[in-house]
Each structure stands twice: as structure tokens, then as C-alpha cells.
Homo-oligomer: A and B are copies of this chain.
Amino acid sequence: METMNTSKHISGQFDTELENIRNQVLTMGGLVEQQLRDALLAIEENDIESAKQVRKNDRQVNQFDLDIDRQCIQIIAKRQPAASDLRLMVAINKTTADLERIGDVAKKIAKVAMEGEYDKKQLQLIASLDSLGRHVCDMLHDVLDAFARMDVDAALKVHKEDKRVDREYEGILREMVTYMMEDSRSIPKVLEVMWAVRSLERIGDRCQNISEYIVYCVKGKDIRHAPSSEIDELLK
């Protein structure tokens, strides 16, 4: 298993700072994952109060984004890190940006939950949204786990998972188009769900981004934009 040794500085204080900021990213990630799960549950149980809470909590996610970014800059300015430490700062900076956007999706799903009142057929679409939602929640969980351990193999596993999310998404989309064509009055409501499904699919892309930052951090190699068939070769 390829991971990164993260405790190796002469200055114990610097180690503490790095450990601290990594923990904050994981806490932010945990919050975002919870937000997403709560938003999906709010739809399933038609729980408006819970959906409102998700929308409210998004402020905390944004605050994490600002705080972690500021600390990254402070560490770079004060410690002048090189090599893997500098890569870690860059990776954290990019990861929080993606986590913040995933938080925005949770907020959007919560909005769909607040619209409430779906008929029987529409509830089937909501069930598909829920299934895709759980899929990307698990992906987010796994990539945060890979981040915690700076585990390249686990990160690459998440990277590959995105293809499955894309396939599931395409299936739901086809289902929705058929439904809209059969019952045109449903179009506005189905579109509402469709935007949410689209945003969930984008979470898969963001988890893929985070897995790329992990690889960059540990191996020093930037695999963004590389075709997936070439990634193994790049990492040799």
C-alpha cells in the first residue's frame, strides 16, 4: 500500500500544524458527507425541518472553506514548506474547494426536499435520485478515508468508481426523459429533480478530483486530464 509518511519534521510545532489542518479537512469532509446524507433522508421522509437544517448548516461548510484556506496560506508563508509538504498544502487548498461545492449540492438536494408533494410516479424518480445519492455518498466517504491515510491505491479505486456513477446517471436521465414525454404536465417538477440528479453526478467528478490531489500529494505526479487508460503508466 502506497501512503505518505506525514510526521517527520525537526520542528514538532510544524508537525502539529500539519496534523491540525489535515484533521480540519477531514472534519469538513465529514460534515459535508453528513449534509448530503441528511438531505437525501429529508427527501425520502419528506422532512421539511431537516431540509431547512441542511440549508442552514451550509454556512458552517463555507466557514471551514475560508478558515482552512487561510491557514494553508499562513503555513506556506511561515514554514516555507518544500516538496511533499508544499504539495500537501496545494492538495488541501484544492480539496476544500471541491468539498465546498459538494456542500452546495447538499443544499440543492435539501431544496428539492422542501418542494415536497410528489405523485407516485415522481416518487420513483426520487428513489432513483436517492440510490445515486447513496452511491456518491459512499464514494465521498471512501475518498475522505483515502485522504486520511494518504492512500494512493484507495484513491485510484475511487477514481475508477466514477465511471459507474456516470452509467447510473445516464440510466436515470433516460428514465426521466421518458416520463416527461409521457406526461408533459410533470415537466417542471421532473426538471427540479433532474437538476439535483445532475448535481449528484458532478459529486462523482469532484471525488475523482480529490483522488487526483491525493495521488499528486503522495507521488508528486499530476494525473489530471490524463485518459484513465494512461494513468497506470504515468504512475509507474
- Which residues of A are at the interface with B, using a C-beta cutoff of 8 A? 62-63, 65-66, 69-70, 73, 76-77, 80, 82-83, 86-87, 90, 93-94, 97, 177, 180-181, 184-185, 187-188, 191, 195, 198, 222, 224-225
Contact = CB atoms under 8 A, between A and B. Distances in A.
B185 A181 contact: yes
Identical chains in the assembly = 2
A84 to B, nearest CB: 11
A181 B181 contact: no
A85 to B, nearest CB: 10
Given A180-B187, A222-B66, A86 B77 contact: yes
A224 B188 CA distance: 31
B93 A73 contact: no
A184 B181 contact: yes
B222 A69 contact: yes
A184 B180 contact: yes
Contacts of A87: 73
Given A77-B82, A80-B80, A184-B181, A225 B62 contact: yes
Nearest to A89: B76
Nearest to A183: B184
